[in-house]
Amino acid sequence: MNEVNHFRRVVLIWLVSSVILTPIVVLAAQGIPPGDGSVQAAGQTTDNGVLLGLSTPVALAVVVFFIYSLVAFRERDTAAVLDGPPVRGHAGVQLWWIVTTTTIVLFLAGYGTVRMLADGAGGGQGPNPIAKPTSSVPALPVQVIAQQWKFTFRFPTYGGVETNHLEIPANRLIAFHVTSLDVIHSFWAYQLGVKADANPGVDNVAYVQTKNPLTFNIHCAELCGVWHGYMFDTGAVVSGLQFASWIAQQRARFAPATKLLPPYAKQYFPDPQHRGG
Amino acid sequence: MSAAGKRLVGVAICAVVVCVLIGLYIGLYLTTSPGDASAAGVAGPNGTNLYLATVAASETTDPHPSWVSYYVVDAKDQNWRHATTFELPANSLVHVTIYQFDGQSGLRNPFIAQATGIIGGTFGLNGKPTVVIGPDTASHIFAIPQMGVSVPLSGVPDSAKNPCANAPCPLSTDHETITFTFRTPGKGLYRWQCFVPCAAGSIQGFGGPMQTVGYMDGFIKVV
């Protein structure tokens, strides 16, 4: 009777399952947020697909070997349980394992670094951002001011008006300057692929290149107190004309409050007398 | 039944019980809402009236007698009740009167010195129509973020000769009277809060009564 070649069987099962499942996982990943709401969001979705696609065969190798071992190597005669043969090192397998895993890890490190510069602009980069998208027109600066428990938004190029809600123009590079008036919050506009911590006294810059009009959800992503779960809002990417009309309305509506605001500054830190009760 | 079968049944029963308990916990968590409304608005000919008061310190018998707090009162500042859950009718006008006995704290963000989300865009400050107050004179904010309502409450000046410390405070003591009207949306549970860091003695002025439902924040049940 021929000896069964378990290694060949495992490799075959792994190969077939990888060929079937990897494209399915890559396709399914395109439906996972953040989606296609901005250039950065689309890039992040692509990156998620690539990473999931790469990790699928690795995960399958573990799962296939595990299940195969449970089935093929189970002890059928429970009355005669004997210890198996001693396990010894196999130079070929060890070399193959080290080379394969090292190659995967180095590739992921390189891919991640390159893509972070391309798609990582949506993440908070501190006051001196490295990943800065290029644009033919200057980025529209929007200051995101977090406080317990709401976000407000200030537009320095529109008279420094501050608003309760966020609207931004389509097909435009936006520079979010995220800061906080009290504790640490996090500005997360996930359909835009934007997530930046809001730290008191810090100008945390995140960029987004908007695409077509859409509505997006804004959440605080840093546990910030009893009403953290209620610190959310809905924002909108609108056409250039709609944005011009909206910001003009906001300037008129909030003219009385705008007169009271301090001059625009990237570090919006309250006067000490207002920091505590 | 064999011993192995009994063990299997035992494990299965335990697993079902644990799953049911977890399901109950999650279900109760998701469906639990604040208890019965502690204060219902008083129906009037042109809407519902809601009378509130803010004071620098709660009643001396309160578990936290040094904590700043909102109270429900009646039209004549009587019958003080320590409640911050209000029941209001849907899609109707609500006329709010707040007797404000606390001192001035100041706003971290002067932007919220302007009232928003109220009928006419102005509120009454001691009878005078007002849109915005001096940020340094603010004592509290009454805000319902989901409705867009935000009204700043002026504080009693430091020079006041007859201030009130602990609730209940009679109208004969120094106070500001703030009035405004807003329209409720459809049925639902909405939260309201103060935005001034007015919790004296706590971290950043936002601990204690600002982080505990029942003092400077609560719910509005729109029914």
Residue-wise pLDDT for A247-271, tens only, equals 999 999 999 999 999 999 887 766 6
Position B35 scores a pLDDT of 52
- Read off the pLDDT band of B38 (50, 70, 90): low
Which of B110, B116, B204 is nearest residue A182 as measured by Cβ atoms?
B204
Compute the half-sphere exposure of residue A133: CA atoms within 13 Å on the CB side of its CA: 30
* Angle of the A6-29 helix axis to the A39-72 helix axis, nearest 10: 150
pLDDT at B206: 80
Which of A224, A269, A274 to substitute to test the interface with B, most B CBs within 10 Å? A274
Most confident of A107-111, A115-119, B210-214: A107-111
- pLDDT digits over B144-179, tens only? 999 999 999 999 998 989 999 898 999 999 999 999
Q: Note the pLDDT tens digit of each residue in B67-124.
A: 999 999 988 888 898 889 999 999 999 999 999 999 998 888 999 999 999 999 999 9
Nearest to A181 among B109, B193, B211 (CB): B109
The pLDDT, as a whole number, for residue A86 is 82
User: pLDDT tens, A179-195?
Assistant: 999 889 999 998 999 99
Phi/psi at A265 (5° precision): -145, 150
Q: Chain A 154-193, CB below 8 Å of chain B: which residues?
A: 162, 164, 181-183
Q: Contact B111/A152, CB-based, under 8 Å?
A: yes
Q: pTM score, two decimals? A: 0.84
Among B197, B200, B201, the residue with its CB nearest the CB of A274 is: B197
Confidence of residue B186 (pLDDT cuts 50, 70, 90): very high
> Is the Cβ pair A270, B201 closer than 8 Å?
no
- State the amino acid at position B123 in one-letter form: F
pLDDT exceeds 60 at position A277:
no
Q: List the single best residue of A144, A147, A231, A273 to mutate versus B (max B Cβ within 10 A).
A: A147
Going by their DSSP bridges, the two strands B123-125 and A150-155 should be labelled as: unpaired
CB contact under 8 A, B116 and A183: no
* Beta-carbon pairs below 8 A across chains A and B: 88
In angstroms, the separation between the Cα of residue B43 and the nearest Cα of chain A is 29
Min distance A230 CA to chain B CA atoms (Å)? 8
**Sheet of strand A140-147, all strands in order from the earlier edge strand to the far edge:** A161-163, A150-155, A140-147, A173-180, A204-209
Contacts of B204 in chain A (CB under 8 A): 182-183, 275-276
pLDDT band with cut points at 50, 70 and 90 for residue A32: confident
Q: Which helix (H) or strand (E) holds A108?
A: helix A91-119
Distances (CA, A) of A193 to A58, A117, A243, A277, B171: 27, 14, 21, 37, 53
**Encoded tokens for A52:** 């999931």
Q: Cβ of A203 under 8 Å from any chain B Cβ? A: no
Cβ contact (<8 Å) for B116 and A164? yes
- The C-alpha atoms of residue A220 and residue A126 are separated, in whole angstroms, by 18
Distance from CA of B204 to the nearest CA of A (A): 4
Q: Which residues of B touch A (CB under 8 A)?
A: 68, 105-114, 116, 131-132, 134-135, 145-146, 148, 191, 193, 195, 197-206, 210-213, 217
Closest by Cβ to B191, choosing from A147, A230, A274: A230
* Residue A46 scores a pLDDT above 60: yes
A225 in contact with chain B, both atoms CB, cutoff 8 A:
yes
A150 touches chain B (CB under 8 A): yes
Say yes or no to pLDDT of B31 above 80. no
Closest Cα in chain B, distance from residue A151 (Å): 10
Nearest to B205 among A145, A226, A277 (CB): A277
Picking from B140, B192, B206 by the largest number of A CB atoms within 10 A of its own CB, the best residue to mutate is: B206
Measured CA distances, A273 to A183, A269, A276, B154, B160 (Å)? 16, 11, 7, 17, 20
| CA gap B116, B131 in Å, rounded | 9
Average pLDDT over residues A149-170: 96
Closest Cα in chain A to B199: A277
